[in-house]
């Protein structure tokens, strides 16, 4: 491992949080919450043990 | 990347080979019965014997040597196809096989393995009651010792130190055994399959977003580091970090660094979580199985955790007079894990789109569905194929159930050996000193914060939501 990479890992980067990243994170979480209800309902209705 | 895909494809072929040979048992020809089975023992002479009664005349040691030679030939041919240094692979594999088997044998010593209900049979007053799966933990410990204290030996074995290859082969083989088991309780098996899929969708969407957010906003990592870190830490491990690195066009060193971190933390989880599951989830066995699949990273460590968890929880249940069928907790872990592996390709495709069109804003860039296939782990198909074939066989012709059980018991010999070698080689590649020297402390800190802050707990909650109240069928 080079010293450059070690320095890079120690450094805090101020790269802007782009709208595309925000959308990705938001949609992922929203989809997770919405699907939770749906998947629990399907599991209980059609895949009861 | 190309090598990984070849390796996966090879795992598929190798698993299917053992599977196909075992099918001869169904037709009345016992081709794999000479494989070595290891029993819990007090006297070493009674520890090993051929797995099939049809081969009972064969001495145990001969059976063990046959098993070694068979695997040596098959794996060396495979290694040659992968472009490995064949003599070094054969020598390394030989050492890994015998050291791993010695660990497995030690783990089956009655004072370590015997459950309380078996102590009287051995005439002993105490035992650790860890079951034979204690051999996995011993293999991991010996691998860790060699990897950290004898780096020269670890380097000499490097050509054959391939934990991902071993575990993926084991998973393909496992599919057949689980298929036979599922035939006896199709409703439960279908429920485990669907709920496993539902659990990984939930966990993936929530984990990835949160880890990415923590890495970017709290620790101020660049996008190039944060995305592979999120994929590696969240639930998928090494293959996800590599697939994500490729999807966002990160430098090759990024997923490699993340992967080394994932492997080290997987070892920690592997040692801690099964015992936590035995302590707190013994009454919710399938929740425990799913939790291992969702919380423990890398295929090897996750499936291995499932095997240990199952052994520990069944032993605890047996002590209180409850006998659950073997395999259901491991099936839950494996199902969750292979669905996660399937999801890697889809998620890498999504990330490639977001990075191409939303972040880099490439002109003329097209992301094709072929990229899903490129990142799709091929051994998953082998798992589902062996599962489906055995399930269909037994459902269509119930008279074949006993033969199918014999066949899968014989393939199980090889599955266990691949698992033990997985544990041993995970230990070999887990060099804690090197981690410290590489100065990836901030990456490790993200891992610790995410793992103990929410991954373990969200994984537990999701497992509870989809699997609580489900128990394996009773024995008999």
Mean pLDDT calculated for residue range B300-316: 88
Residue A42: list chain B partners with CB under 8 A. Answer: 194, 198
* Phi then psi dihedrals of residue B468, to 5 deg: -70, 145
Residue A47 with chain B: CB contacts under 8 Å:
190-191, 194-195
**Residue that is written with structure tokens 């589902």 in the block:** B384
Q: At B372, is the pLDDT very low, low, confident or very high (cuts 50, 70, 90)?
A: low
**Which residue from B194, B217, B440 is facing A17, i.e. has the nearest CB?**
B217
Q: How many Å apart are CA B304 and CA B311, to the nearest integer?
A: 11
pLDDT reading at B384 higher than 90: no
Contact A12 B220 (CB under 8 A): yes
Q: Hey, are the CB atoms on B202 and A6 less than 8 Å from each other?
A: no
- In chain A, which residue's Cα lies nearest the Cα of B469? A49
Contact A40 B469 (CB under 8 A): no
Strand partners, A45: none
Asked if B202 lies within 8 A of A35 by C-beta distance, the reply is: yes
Q: Greater confidence, B25 or B158?
A: B158
- Residues from chain A contacting residue B443 (CB–CB below 8 Å): 9
Confidence of residue B7 (pLDDT cuts 50, 70, 90): low
CA-to-CA dists, residue B356 to B106, B217, B366, angstroms: 53, 22, 8
pLDDT at B358: 83
pLDDT digit string, tens, across residues A1-46: 556 667 777 777 778 899 999 999 999 999 998 998 899 999 988 8
A37 touches chain B (CB under 8 A): no
Residue contact A49–B469, C-beta within 8 A: yes
CB contact under 8 A, B190 and A21: no
Contacts of B222 in chain A (CB under 8 A): 13, 15
Q: How confident is the model at residue B2 (pLDDT cuts 50, 70, 90)?
A: very low
For chain B, domain boundaries = 2-467
DSSP for residue B131: -
Give the separation between CA B239 and CA B210, rounded to whole angstroms: 20
Name the pLDDT band for B15 (thresholds 50, 70, 90).
confident
CB-based contact, B433 to chain A, within 8 Å:
no
Q: Whose CA is closest to B199, among B469, B472, B458?
A: B458
For A38, which residue in chain B has the nearest alpha carbon? B198
Q: Which of B206, B354, B439 has the CB atom closest to A20's CB atom?
A: B354
Is any Cβ of chain A less than 8 angstroms from the Cβ of B95? Answer: no
The pLDDT-based confidence of B5 (bands split at 50, 70, 90) is very low
Q: CA torsion angle for B161, B163, B165, B169 (degrees, to 10)?
A: 130
Q: Which among A19, A29, A42 has CB closest to B205?
A: A29
With cut-offs at 50, 70 and 90, classify the pLDDT of residue B200: confident
The shortest C-alpha distance from B354 to chain A (Å) reads 7
CA distances from B377 to B4, B255, B299 (A): 9, 17, 11
CA distance A31 to chain B (A): 7
Q: What is the pTM of this model?
A: 0.75
* CB-CB under 8 Å, B188 with A36: no
Q: Which of B194, B221, B257 sits opposite A47 (nearest CB)?
A: B194
Rounded CA-CA distance B344/B456 in Å is: 20
A-facing residues of B in 247-266 (CB < 8 A) are: 253, 257
- Whether B280 has a pLDDT exceeding 80, the answer reads yes
Residue A3: the pLDDT is 60
According to DSSP, the residues that pair with B195 across neighbouring strands are none
Ordered DSSP codes for B267-314: HHHHHHHHHHHHHH-TT-HHHHHHHHHHHS-SHHHHHHHHHHHHHHHH
B302/B308 Cα distance (integer angstroms): 10
CB contact under 8 A, A9 and B359: no
Measure CB to CB from residue A28 to each of B194, B205, B357 and give the nearest one.
B205
Q: Is A41 on the interface with B (CB under 8 A)?
A: no
Q: Which comes out higher in pLDDT, residue B298 or B96?
A: B96
């Amino acid at each position: 491992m080079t010293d450059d990479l070690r320095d890079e890992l120690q450094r805090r980067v101020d790269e802007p949080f782009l709208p595309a990243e925000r959308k990705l994170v938001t949609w992922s979480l929203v989809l997770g919450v919405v699907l939770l209800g749906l998947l629990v309902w399907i599991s209980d209705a059609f895949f009861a043990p | 990347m190309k090598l990984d895909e070849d390796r996966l494809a090879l795992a598929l072929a190798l698993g299917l080979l053992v599977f196909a040979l075992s099918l001869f048992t169904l037709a009345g020809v016992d081709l794999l019965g000479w494989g070595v089975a290891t029993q819990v023992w007090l006297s070493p002479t009674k520890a090993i014997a051929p797995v099939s009664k049809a081969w009972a005349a064969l001495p145990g040691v001969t059976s063990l040597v046959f098993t070694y030679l068979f695997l040596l030939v098959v794996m060396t041919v495979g290694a040659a196809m992968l472009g490995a240094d064949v003599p070094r692979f054969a020598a390394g594999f030989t050492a890994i096989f015998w050291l791993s088997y010695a660990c497995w044998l030690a783990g089956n010593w009655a004072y370590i393995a015997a459950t309380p209900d078996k102590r009287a049979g051995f005439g002993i007053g105490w035992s650790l009651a860890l079951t034979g799966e204690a051999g996995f933990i011993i293999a991991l410990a010996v691998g860790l010792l060699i990897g950290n204290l004898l780096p020269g030996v670890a380097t000499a074995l490097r050509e054959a130190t391939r934990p991902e290859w071993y575990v993926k082969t084991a998973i393909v083989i496992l599919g057949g055994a689980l298929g036979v088991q599922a035939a006896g309780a199709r409703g439960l098996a279908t429920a485990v399959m669907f709920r496993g899929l539902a659990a990984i969708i939930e966990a993936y969407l929530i984990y990835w977003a949160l880890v990415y957010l923590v890495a970017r906003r709290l620790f101020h990592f660049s996008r190039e580091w944060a995305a592979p870190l999120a994929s590696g830490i969240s639930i998928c491990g090494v293959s996800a970090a590599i697939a994500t690195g490729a999807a966002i066009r990160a430098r090759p060193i990024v997923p490699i660094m993340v992967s080394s971190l994932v492997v080290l933390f997987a070892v920690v989880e592997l040692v801690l979580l099964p015992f936590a599951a035995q302590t707190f989830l013994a009454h919710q066995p399938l929740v425990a199985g799913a939790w291992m699949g969702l919380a423990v990273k890398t295929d090897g460590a996750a499936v291995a955790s499932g095997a240990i968890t199952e052994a520990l929880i069944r032993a605890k249940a047996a002590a209180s007079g409850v006998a659950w069928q073997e395999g259901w907790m491991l099936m839950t872990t494996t199902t969750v894990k292979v669905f996660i592996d399937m999801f890697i390709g889809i998620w890498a495709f999504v990330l490639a789109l977001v990075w191409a069109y939303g972040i880099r804003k490439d002109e003329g860039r097209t992301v094709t569905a072929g990229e899903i296939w490129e990142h799709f782990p091929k051994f998953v198909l082998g798992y589902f194929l062996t599962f489906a074939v055995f399930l269909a066989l037994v459902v269509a012709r119930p008279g074949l159930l006993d033969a199918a059980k014999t066949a899968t018991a014989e393939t199980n010999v090889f599955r266990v050996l691949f698992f033990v070698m997985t544990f041993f080689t995970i230990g070999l590649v887990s060099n804690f000193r090197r981690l410290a020297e590489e100065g990836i402390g901030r990456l490790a800190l993200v891992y610790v914060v995410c793992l103990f802050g929410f991954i373990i707990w969200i994984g537990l909650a999701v497992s509870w939501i989809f699997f609580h109240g489900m128990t394996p069928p009773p024995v008999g």
